[in-house]
Amino acid sequence: MPITFDTTSRTFHLRNDKISYLIRVLENGTLGHLYFGGSLAESGSYGRLSGVEYLGLSNRLGDPVALEYPTPGTGDFRVPALTVEQANGSTALDPRYTSHRVFGGKSAIPGLPSTYVQGYDEAETLEILLTDTPASLEIRLFFAIYADRPVITRAVRLRNIGSEQLTVRCAMSASLDLPDADWEMVQLSGAWARECHVRTRRLEAGSQAIGSLRGASGHEHNPFLALKREHTTEEAGEAYGLSLVYSGNFLAEAEVDQYQTTRLRIGINPEGFAWALDPGTEFCTPEAALAFSEAGLGALSDAYHGLYRDRLARGVWRDAPRPIVLNNWEATYYDFDEARLLEIATAARDLGVEMFVLDDGWFGRRDSDASSLGDWTANKAKLPGGVEGIARQIEALGLRFGIWIEPEMVSQRSQLFVDHPDWAVGVPTRPHTEGRNQLVLDMARREVVDYLFGVLSDLLGHASISYVKWDMNRNITEPFSPSLPAARQGEFFHRYILGVYDLYERLTRAFPQVLFESCASGGGRFDPGMLQFAPQAWTSDDTDAIERLRIQWGTSLCYPLSSMAAHVSAIPNHQTGRSTPLATRAAVAFFGVLGYELDPAALTDEEREAVSGQIAYYKARRDLFQRGRFVRLKSPFEGDGNETAWMTVSADAKRAVVGHYRVLNGPQRGRERLRLRGLDPKASYRVSVWPAGDDPISAANSGVRGGDELMRIGLLVAPENPVDSRSVGDFAARLFDLEAETPEADRR
């Protein structure tokens, strides 16, 4: 069993082959944290790890003590995991161990997404009850360990067992005390069209944090952070990961104290948060997933990829091959009619595309972003047969049909706003702040969620829709809900997200065959919370291949290939004005869920042939590109960032595709090689280069190579000679397709 309890030292050991997590009930009943890291022997007695007790304070707390769920006001002066204001105004807490239980599997969290098991033997959960008697507060800590993943998931439930109201001001999903501060903090930060850039800094004394106060996880920081040692690489060294299964305001923080210990915490952002906990009621935090690796950042990512792909995403689309879409947004923006859409769809079908996605502009009077959000009925001038009509015609072409919608929003110029002006989020005494000419609907209100469920069910029920791109294009200002009394306005942001989850839950249950893709102006809400309902997300509005190298690399630190939608678009690129070769755009977009976002009817014959070839290439390797093990080889965030390389490998290591990208070509740089990883050193691989051509790189690499050679010596990726007319020049990309040869013995 992965969870044991040593009654003598009152130590819990959560253990599998990869990790150990040790918790101890200290002498005074406080819950101490002993260890999280590589696997330790099951039989060891680890009680001594609680170390020298801090004698400065009579309650034996104090800064150096490592705690599982720290609280303020009783001797621990570091950032707390839990702050609860009591009826007398005090926020001091000192909860003590009361009881525990261990059960097979793991429990769901009411109203919130979380990772799950498919059988009770996949994971075991430790539930520890702490009680703070003066506050009449029960705290249930949940720690789940999967049998074969280096991950501990955590969540917390608070219960008011008294007769007076409590106010929860901070309730982290997890807190983790580490014994030293010799770490670098890795975060995924950016902006619109520049999401998930990898940023790394050395931990320093004091607090270093990322978070969001936007009402969504946001483009600025992803709800993920990692700690790594200075010399940890992709393939070696220690690393911890913290990831929050949540889509709203979050905080992820590392605090280094006066004794050079590190406290990590992750959860709902306490800024502006206040939850009134009535007597007898409960509050549940979102889930946090903590991962540990002794084999570098690559293994940390493997852990998150497997967990989120296989045990967070749900439904038929979790494992199903994802279709190749043509999205009309960059082809037409708002300017289209039925004939134009059919022209695009027909050309797309002829290229091998499988689904046509009708983006923004199909409803109300939506000819720009100035109106109509909320009026989810077809614009008959553009679509005379309505959504049903266009869906039918698209299907008659042999394609499936998908549609864009932005359910959480309302335009002031819309019938919905005329009918329900009070449904828009806002403070009654202040003017509304518009963003992209739109307001946000109050998802904290049940009637709004019910209304949207009705509208969307109607749409999905009447037209043949196989896919929904659920967008969310602005953050929340003037947070306030008239449905909440003054004392509960601090609940607004969390209740908003609970409303979004409720709508997603009801829709995905009612329409299990529909594939949902989440989007928030690209990656503005690309987080694990969304992945439960929408197994893929629009990674970024930036479709430029070179920008995408960094965006997709960064996103891959936490998220699997199956979650990253990536499209080939036209040049000059609409976000950067850059012109990259068509093959390069495809070679980047292949690593994820491929789509096209251009006018296929406008392609030249040569381009058409190239795109057909790309689609055929992808289809033949779809499982690798969507579900293979993603291995990062050469980082665009290191050195001059001129080169990026990554690969995807099948579970049995028999197939792989390597992508190598060079931003600027440079002459006379020698015989540069790219060493691969994750192959079978004993296997022989047939290597073929894409795009195929009569060029030195193809000549040097094509043929049969040993896995050992490919990993120890590598592929030749030298820059191309600019005087050679076959040189691709700048923005070059090459794919290397590897297929293990069947040994002679097996052939017979």
| Residues near ligand GLA (CB under 6 A) | 329, 359-360, 404, 471, 473, 519, 521-522, 538, 541
Q: Which of 376, 537, 558, 554 is nearest to 465 (CA)?
A: 376
CB of 540 to ligand GLA, least distance (A): 8
For residue 186, the minimal CB distance to ligand GLA (Å) is: 26
Nearest CB to ligand GLA, comparing residues 21 and 538: 538
Residue 72 near residue 93, CB atoms below 8 Å: yes
Query: Running DSSP on this structure, what letter comes out for residue 47?
Result: G
541, 544, 680, 695: the catalytic one is: 541
Toward ligand GLA, which CB reaches closer, 263 or 474? 474
- Minimum distance from residue 135 beta carbon to ligand GLA (Å): 45
The residue behind tokens 């280069």 is: 689
Residue among 154, 123, 124, 152 nearest 140 (CA): 154
Q: How far is the CB of 458 from ligand GLA (least distance, A)?
A: 22
Q: Please, which residues have CB within 8 angstroms of residue 53's CB and are 6 or more apart in sequence?
A: 26, 27, 60, 65
- 216 touches 230 (CB < 8 A): no
Strand boundaries in 86-165, DSSP class E = 96-104, 123-132, 137-146, 151-160
In the set 94, 132, 360, 471, the catalytic residue is 471
Q: What is Dmax (Cα atoms) for the chain?
A: 83
CB 426 within 8 A of CB 481: no
Nearest distance from residue 340's CB to ligand GLA, in Å?
A: 17
Active-site residue flag, 132:
no
Query: For residues 387 and 378, is the Cβ–Cβ distance under 8 A?
Result: yes
- Give Cα separations from 55 to 48, 51, 64, 455 (angstroms): 16, 12, 11, 63
Burial grade of 278 (CB within 10 A; 0-12, 13-18, 19 or more): exposed
Q: 274 is written with which tokens?
A: 């206040």
Question: Is 541 known to be catalytic?
Answer: yes
Alpha-carbon Rg for the chain, nearest whole angstrom, is 27
- CA–CA gap between residue 125 and residue 501 (Å, rounded): 24
The least distance separating ligand GLA from the CB of residue 532, rounded to whole angstroms, comes to: 20
Instruction: Write down the least CB distance from residue 323 to ligand GLA, Å.
Output: 17
Any idea which residue has 């499936």 for tokens?
400
- Which lies closer to ligand GLA via its Cβ, residue 167 or residue 543? 543
Taking the least distance from each CB to ligand GLA, the nearer of 195 and 680 is 195
Q: Show Cβ contacts of residue 515 under 8 Å, excluding neighbours closer than 6 positions.
A: 317, 322, 323, 402, 466, 467, 468, 535, 536
Report in angstroms how near the CB of residue 413 gets to ligand GLA at its nearest.
15
For residues 372 and 584, which CB has a smaller minimum distance to ligand GLA in the complex? 372
Nearer to ligand GLA, 382 or 705 (CB): 382
Cβ atoms within 10 Å, residue 491: 20
Question: How does DSSP assign 617-667, residue by residue?
Answer: HHHHTHHHHHHSEEEEEE-TTSTTS-EEEEEEE-TTSSEEEEEEEESS--S
Q: Which two tokens stand for residue 698?
A: 């193809």
Q: Which is nearer to ligand GLA, 324 or 687 (CB)?
A: 324
Q: Which is nearer to ligand GLA, 61 or 441 (CB)?
A: 441
- Of the CA atoms within 13 Å of residue 361, those in its CB half-sphere come to 19
DSSP strands (E only) in 280-395: 282-284, 287-293, 325-327, 355-358
The DSSP letter of residue 363 is B
Sequence-separated (6 or more) residues with CB below 8 Å from residue 44: none
Which position's Cβ is nearest ligand GLA?
A: 360
CB of 733 to ligand GLA, least distance (A): 23
Tell me how far, at minimum, the Cβ of 407 lies from ligand GLA, in Å: 13
Residues designated as active site? 471, 541
